[in-house]
């Protein structure tokens, strides 16, 4: 199914460069058996180790909460599943990158452009990526600045290397369990703001260049396999619309 245009009502860019340590902290708090207010208070305290007091209460908190604590409604079940099944993610970098892709479509757009370039053996710099993403998301200072922050975040997660004036290169693909592979297919559907994806398209999704190929487990609960006309096999999202 063709992806829909970006939802103008959702936050578009990644306005902060994130790290594995920071995302681990947010994930740990999201996993607590505690109420919303208690988790919010604990997150503010934890974020003070990474930023100023004011930032810990406002912009940084809002940015990271969207990934693991207060995701967009279509991604709530997918994010909750990852929180409840940490054993499926021995490499947390894969988990965090999938969560970023599902909750911040801008990150998915960047990964898609990178994956297409890698598949064609094209060299792509941050400036070249910025040009492509501005064409899709609009020429604003926020969108322009988000490109560098996105690449920095992906580099810190071990997804890409390079950046700045140097070509962006891919790192060794991260291994995924079969259920985590299905979870990543779900992330692709969400970042494209679609409702389904062909099985073959999912296996070749440019957004997933950083994940080692693994056959998705059909028992992952938030995807449903279907057969469409002319025997086309698809994965359909079973999450809330």
Q: Which tens digits make up the pLDDT trace of 59-106?
A: 888 889 999 999 999 999 999 999 999 999 999 999 999 999 999 999
50 falls within a domain: yes
Predicted pLDDT of residue 228? 81
Burial of 114 (0-12, 13-18, 19+ CB in 10 A): buried
Quickly state the pLDDT bin for 10 (edges 50, 70, 90): very low
Quickly state the pLDDT bin for 131 (edges 50, 70, 90): very high
Match 């997918």 to its residue by tokens.
78
Predicted pLDDT of residue 2? 36
d(CA 199, CA 225): 9
The tally of domains found in the chain comes to 1
pLDDT averaged over the chain?
A: 90
Predicted pLDDT of residue 114? 98
Region 166-189 average pLDDT = 97
37 falls within a domain: yes
Q: Which tens digits make up the pLDDT trace of 14-61?
A: 888 999 999 999 999 999 988 878 888 899 999 998 888 888 888 888
Region 222-240 average pLDDT = 83
**pTM as predicted:** 0.91
1 falls within a domain: no
Whole domain around residue 87: which residue ranges? 6-241
């Amino acid at each position: 199914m063709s992806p829909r245009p970006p939802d103008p009502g959702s936050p578009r860019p990644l306005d902060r460069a994130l790290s594995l340590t920071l995302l681990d902290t947010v994930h740990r708090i999201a996993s607590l058996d505690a109420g919303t207010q208690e988790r919010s208070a604990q997150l503010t305290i934890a974020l003070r180790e990474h930023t100023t007091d004011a930032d810990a209460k406002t912009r940084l908190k809002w940015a990271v909460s969207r990934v693991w604590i207060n995701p967009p409604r279509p991604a709530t079940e997918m994010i909750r599943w990852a929180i409840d099944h940490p054993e499926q993610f021995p490499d947390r970098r894969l988990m965090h990158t999938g969560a970023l892709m599902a909750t911040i479509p801008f990150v998915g757009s960047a990964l898609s452009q990178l994956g297409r370039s890698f598949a064609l053996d094209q060299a792509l710099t941050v400036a070249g990526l910025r040009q492509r993403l501005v064409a899709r998301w609009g020429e604003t200072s926020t969108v322009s600045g988000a490109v560098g922050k996105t690449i920095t975040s992906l580099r810190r997660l071990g997804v890409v290397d390079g950046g700045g004036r140097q070509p962006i290169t891919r790192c060794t693909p991260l291994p995924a369990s079969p259920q985590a592979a299905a979870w990543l297919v779900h992330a692709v559907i969400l970042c494209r703001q679609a409702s389904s994806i062909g099985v073959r398209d999912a296996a070749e999704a440019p957004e997933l260049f950083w994940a080692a190929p693994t056959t998705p487990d059909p028992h992952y609960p938030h995807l449903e396999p279907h057969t469409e006309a002319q025997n086309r096999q698809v994965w359909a999202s079973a999450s809330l619309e």
